[in-house]
Structure 1
Amino acid sequence: MDVLGIDEIIYGADDLPKCRQFFLDWGMVLAQQSAAELVFESQNGCRVIVRDSGDPSLPPAIEAGPTLREVVWGVSSDAVLDKFAGRIKQLQGYINDGKRVGCTDPNGLAVRFQVSVKRDVQVQCARMNTWNEKNRINERSPVYERAAPIEVGHVVFFVKDVKACEKFYCENFGFVPSDRYPERGAFLRCADVGGHHDIFLLQPPEARSGLNHVAFTVRDIHEVFGGGMHMSRSGWDTQLGPGRHPISSAYFWYFKNPAGGLIEYYADEDQLDEHWEPRDFEPGPTVFAEWAIDGGIDGNTRRQKNAQGPSGKFLTDRAPAGK
C-alpha cells in the first residue's frame, strides 16, 4: 500500500485564538503554539496546523476567507516518494525538498506526500449487540463526555472539474474509486483495502473550488454523540447532525469551523477491498443522509435544539397543574 491516509492538514485562518479554543474543544492536543501558528495532534499523531491567512509561507488559497491550504498524505516508504516524484515532476507547483514531494492538483490545492509519521494506536471501542451476535455480555456501552479524535479521516472539496481531479489522484498516486455521482462527484480511497473514502470531490452546478469539510475519525457512534454534545455545550454551531450516510454507512455530526468550511465527527464507515464494485448514485437529500437532525442536539437538555428538556427525574414526571 503506497498512500496510508492523511498525515497533516494546514489551514489559513483569520482568528487564531478562536481556532485554538475550537480545536481544543474538538478534542485535539495542542502540541505547539505561537502568535502566528497553532499545531494540534490527534491520538495517532495526525497533525492539524492553523496559520494566519496572511502568512507568506502558505500556498495560495483555493477560495476567499479561511480555508484549507494544504493536505499532506502519508506514504509507506521513501521508495514511494521517489516513484511519485518521477510521476509529477512536470506538473504545476512541483516541489521536492528531500522530505516531501508534491504539486498542485487541478483544483488549485497544494498536495504533498511524506513518509508517514502517524503511530499505531489501540483504543477501546464499543461492542455492538445484534440479533445474531451478542458481543457485549454483562457490560454497558460507553457514554463519552467528549471526543478524542483518532485521526483526520477524509477531506471533501468542491471542484471545478471532477473528472480531471479523479484522474489526477488515481493515475499519479494510486487512489481507487469507491462510488460516484456521475459527472458530479467521486468518492476515492487511498488503496484497494481501506475505509470508504479518504477524499470526496464534488462538482457543484456552479463548478467552483472550495473546501466543504474535514472529517475526523472517532472510535464509535457513541463518541460521535458525546463529542457533538460537548461541542454544543461549548457554544459551537451545528451545521447538521447527528445523522447517518447511506453511501458510506457512517454516522456523522457536522459543525461550523472557524478555520474554514465544516468539520465532522464520524464513525462506522464501510470497509472495502479489491472486490468492491463502485456504484453510481443520483444526488439527493436521502442519498446524503438516511436521517439527520437539523441544528443538532443541545448538549445540556440532550434534546433537539430549542426543544424543552424534561422537568423531572423521570420522563413520566409531570409538573403540577398551574406550575
Structure 2
Amino acid sequence: MHDGHHGTHNDLHSEQGALPGEHPGRAANPVIKVHDIAWLEFFKPDLARAEAFARAFGFVASYRDAHELHLRGTQAGSPCVIIRKGPRSRFLGLAFRAADTRDLVRLADATDTRVNRLPQTLGGSVVDLLDPSGIRVRVVAGTDELPALPGQEPQRLNFGGDLDRVNATQRPPREPATVHRLGHVVLQTTSYLRTLNWYLEHLGLIVSDFLYYEGQRDRGPTMSFIRCDRGKTLTDHHTLALTLGPSNRYVHSAYEVTDLDALAVGGQYLLDEGYSRSWGIGRHILGSQIFDYWRDPDGFLVEHFADSDVFDSTLEPGWAAMTASGLAQWGPPATKDFLGIAPGRVFLNELRSILTALRSDDNEFDLERLRGLLKVATS
C-alpha cells in the first residue's frame, strides 16, 4: 500500500483489495492532476431535436446558434455538453479541467503539443490530445465561468422519529429533473490497459475500483472506475470509467440531480414526453448512486443520478469480479438495452466489432476475453 493511504473500501461488492503484483491504480509521477471533468462534445444532425430532449432531461441551453448548442446544469462553471451540427450522430470526445494554465504548459511540453485558445463562446485555453483509443481528450483552463442558476430544493423527509416535515404534504411537481452538473462518462476501449495507464500517467487520475472477468483475474482487470486526485478534497467515486470491449466508443454519461424524488418525477416527465427509459430506477453498488438511464433521440445513453459516493485520495482501489447482477444493490435487472445486447443497430455494430477485434492482434480483446464478456451478460 502507498504510505498514508487507507485500505480498500469495504462494501457489498469490493470486499478485497489488490493481490501482490496487481495494478496499483495510480501513477507514481503523473504529468498533471486534473481537477474535474469539464464537458462532453458530440455531433448531431438535428440541434432542435437534441435541445428538445435536453430540456426534458433537465438541461438549460447556455448558447446556441445555427451550428452549435451548449447545455449546462445549475452549478457554476462551464457547459456540461457541447453539441455541434454534423451529418451524423457521433461522440467527439471529452474535456477535463486543469488547475491552471501552468498545468496546460506542463502537459503540452510532455506530449509535444501546444496550448491553444478556445473559441470566444467558451474562453480560456486548451491542450488537445488523443488517448490510445483514438478518442479526443481536451484539457482546459481559464474558461469563462457561467453563474450558478437556481435549482430544485431537496424534499423534506420524515424518517421514523426524525420529523422534518410537519403540517405539510409531500407533492413534488411533475417537471423535468433539474441537472446540476456532469458527473462522469464511461468509455469502451479495445486497448484497456494502455488507455488506463495513459489517463493515470498524463492526467493524474486514480482508480477507485477494478473489475475483472470471473476466472480471469490473473490476466488483469477489464474495467476501472476512476476519480480525480485532489488530495484531501473530496471527489466523485468515478469521473471516468473505462471498460474493455471490441470497439472504441462512448457508453454513457451521467448527470447529477437533487434527490430521488427529482429523479423519479423527472423520469415520469420523460415518459410522458415519449422518451425511452433504458434501465432504472435503482441504486448502484460501485459509486452507490441512485440511477435512471435514458436513450436520447440519437441513441446515446444518458443517466440521471443522485447520492453518489465521494472519496479523498487516500482510499486504495477495490477489486471484484464483473457481473451483471453486481451492477445494482436494488432495482430491476439490467436490461438488454443497457447491456447493449438488445436487437438493433447498436448490437449489430458491436457484433461486427467483435469479428474485427478477434481478427486483429493490435488490441486486448481476444477469444478468452470474449468468453468472459459473454459470461458477464448472463450473470
Q: TM-score range by the shorter chain?
A: 0.7 to 0.9
Whether contact under 8 Å (2:105, 2:115) holds in the other structure is: no
| 1:135/1:120 CA distance change after superposition, 3 Å | farther
3-state SS of paired residue (2:292):
strand
Q: Quick check: 2:94–2:138 contact (8 Å CA) kept in 1?
A: yes
Of stretches 248-257 and 6-15 in structure 1, the one that deviates more from structure 2 is 6-15
**What per-residue deviation string (whole Å, max 9, x for no partner) do you get for residues 161-196 of structure 1?**
221111111111110100011321011011253111
- C-alpha deviation, 1:102, in angstroms: 2.2
Structure 1 position 148 matched with structure 2 position 181? no
Residue in 1 that maps onto 2:223: 185
Q: Partner letter of residue 195 of structure 1?
A: D
Secondary structure class of the residue paired with 2:35 = strand
Report the equivalent of 2:59: 28
> Corresponding residue for 1:49?
82
Residue in 2 aligned with 1:101? 127
Q: For 1:156-167, list aligned pairs within 5 A.
A: 156-167=186-197
Q: Matched residues in 1 for 2:334 and 2:242: separation?
A: 25
CA distance in 2, matches of 1:271, 1:135: 27
Question: Per the alignment, do residues 159 and 39 of structure 1 end up closer, same or farther by CA in structure 2, a change over 3 Å counting?
Answer: same
1:10-159 matches, cutoff 5 A: 10-44=41-75, 45-47=77-79, 48-54=81-87, 66-89=89-112, 94-98=113-117, 99-115=125-141, 117=145, 124-126=153-155, 134=162, 136=164, 138=166, 143-145=172-174, 146-159=176-189
AA in 2 matched with 1:231: L
In structure 2, distance between residues paired with 1:118 and 1:5: 16
Report the 3-state secondary structure (helix = DSSP H, G, I; strand = E; otherwise coil) of the residue aligned with 1:249: coil
Describe the shift of the 1:245–1:295 C-alpha distance in structure 2 as closer, same or farther (beyond 3 A). Answer: closer
**SS of match in other structure, 1:163:** helix
- In structure 2, runs of 5+ residues without a counterpart are 1-31, 118-124, 213-220, 336-379
The corresponding residue for 2:217 is none
Paired residues, number: 279
* Alpha-carbon distance between aligned partners in 2 of 1:67 and 1:260, rounded to the nearest angstrom: 10
Matched residue, 2:271? 232
* Structure 1: gaps spanning 5 or more residues: 55-64, 297-323
**Residues 285 and 37 of structure 1, relative CA distance in 2, 3 Å threshold:** same
Query: What TM-score do the two structures reach when normalised by structure 1?
Result: 0.78
If each structure's helix is expressed as a fraction of its own residues, which one has the higher value? 2
Please state how far the C-alpha of 1:51 moved relative to its aligned partner.
Answer: 1.4
Q: Which residue of 1 aligns with 2:327?
A: 288
**Per the alignment, do residues 42 and 280 of structure 1 end up closer, same or farther by CA in structure 2, a change over 3 Å counting?**
same
1:256: Cα distance to partner?
0.6
What's the CA shift string for 1:217-253, capped at 9, x where partnerless?
1122222112211111111000101111011110000
CA distance in 2, matches of 1:119, 1:80: 24
AA matched with 1:199:
L
Maintained 8 Å contact 1:217/1:267: yes
Q: Which moved more, 1:113-122 or 1:72-81?
A: 113-122
Once superposed, what is the RMSD of the aligned Cα atoms? 2.6
The answer to whether the Cα contact below 8 Å between 2:73 and 2:178 also exists between their aligned partners in 1 is yes
1:11–1:259 Cα contact (<8 Å) kept? no
Aligned mates of 1:135, 1:211 — CA distance in 2: 44
1:144–1:218 Cα change, 3 Å: farther
Deviation (angstroms), 1:95: 4.6
Q: Within the alignment, does 1:253 sit opposite 2:292 as a pair?
A: yes
**SS of residue paired to 1:107:** coil
Contact kept, 8 Å, 2:285 with 2:326, in 1: the verdict is: yes
CA deviation profile, 1:45-87 (whole Å, cap 9, x unmatched): 4422211234xxxxxxxxxx62320211122212222222222
- 1:255 and 1:142, CA in 2 relative to 1: closer, same or farther beyond 3 A? same
Residue 6 of structure 1 contacts residue 72 of structure 1 at CA under 8 Å; is this kept in 2?
yes
Does residue 170 (structure 1) correspond to residue 200 (structure 2)? The answer is: yes
The 1:126–1:191 alpha-carbon spacing in structure 2 relative to 1, beyond 3 Å, is farther
Per-residue deviation, 1:136:
2.8
The equivalent of 1:8 in structure 2 is: 39
Q: CA deviation at 1:27?
A: 1.5
User: Which amino acid in the other structure matches residue 34 of structure 2?
Assistant: V
Aligned to 1:3, the other structure's residue is in SS state: coil
Contact kept? 1:14, 1:259, Cα under 8 Å = no
The 8 Å contact of residues 324 and 334 in structure 2, kept in 1 or not, is answered as no
Aligned equivalents of 1:171 and 1:295: distance in 2? Answer: 33
